[in-house]
Every structure is written in C-alpha cells, then in structure tokens.
C-alpha cells in the first residue's frame, strides 16, 4: 500500500495553495486554517521547501510564501524527495539488503514505475 506521509501531504497542500495564488504571497495561517491542519507543522514543512529552493518567503504585513519558480518547473517527485527522502522507502530498496520474501524484483519494479509516473508530474498538475 502506498501512503503519503503527513509531511508530504501538508507540503502538497501548501504548494497547491501557492499555485492557485499565482504570485501573491500566502500566509501559513491562511493555508492551515483553510485545510484545518497544524500551522506550526506546516511552517516547518514550508521551511524545508524554502531551504530546497521550492518556495520563497517574504516577511512583513503583506508577507507570506510564494513558489520560487513556475509551478510547471517543480516536480512532485522532487517535493516528496525533499520532504520524505523519496517516494518509496523500505529495507527492500536498500543496498546490501538480503531479500527473504522473494519479491524484491517486484518491489523494485513497482518503485521504478511509480517514480517514473510521479517524476513526470509537476505542481502545475495538482488539481482538486
């Protein structure tokens, strides 16, 4: 079963909100309130995305966050990699892991296919 972490889920919510706002800064509190999520945790996620150059911030009364580059240039896979270290994780994907279940090739193939599909998607593709 594939499941997004809460961190990646929040990150995608933030990026979707920033995409919709175009170039107008959006506050963390606005996004958190609208999505009924923790503003504190969302701020931590935004900070990670800022360090990675995915979002930019502006301080002050009219401050907030914006996308650091056009939505069509931000790959969803890159966002998930920044926030979670990748799309699919587990012992089966680690170098030197001895497979005892016999399904290693299946899991590796699944991972490659998922990364190929998600790697083609950008923030511009995010829709409700």
Contact 74, 29 (CB under 8 A): no
Q: Which CATH code fits 6-125?
A: 1.10.10.10
Considering only residues 108 and 64, tell me which one the structure prediction assigns the higher pLDDT: 64
pLDDT for the residue 93 = 66
Q: Give how far the C-alpha of residue 82 lies from the chain's centroid of Cα atoms, to the nearest Å.
A: 7
User: What is the pTM assigned to this prediction?
Assistant: 0.85
pLDDT of 28 above 80? yes
pLDDT of 17 above 90? yes
Contact 65, 28 (CB under 8 A): yes
Q: Give how far the C-alpha of residue 81 lies from the chain's centroid of Cα atoms, to the nearest Å.
A: 7
- In the chain, what percentage of residues exceed pLDDT 90? 62
Considering only residues 87 and 60, tell me which one the structure prediction assigns the higher pLDDT: 60
pLDDT for the residue 62 = 84
Residue 124's contacts (CB-CB under 8 Å, 6 or more residues apart) are 19, 70, 71, 72, 74
Contact 90, 101 (CB under 8 A): no
What CA–CA distance (Å, rounded) separates 47 from 24? 18
Arithmetic mean of pLDDT over the chain: 89
| Residue 8 token pair | 């990646």
């Amino acid at each position: 079963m594939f499941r997004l972490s809460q961190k990646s889920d929040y990150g995608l919510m933030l990026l979707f909100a920033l995409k919709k706002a175009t170039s107008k800064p959006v506050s963390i509190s606005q996004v958190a309130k609208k999505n009924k999520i923790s503003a504190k945790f969302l701020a931590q996620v935004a900070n990670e995305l800022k360090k990675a150059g995915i979002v930019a911030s502006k301080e002050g009364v009219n401050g907030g966050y914006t996308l650091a580059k056009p939505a069509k240039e931000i790959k969803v896979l890159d966002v998930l990699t920044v926030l979670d270290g990748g799309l699919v994780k587990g012992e089966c994907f680690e170098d030197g892991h001895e497979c005892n279940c016999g399904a290693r090739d299946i899991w590796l193939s699944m991972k490659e296919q998922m990364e190929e599909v998600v790697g083609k998607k950008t923030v511009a593709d995010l829709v409700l």
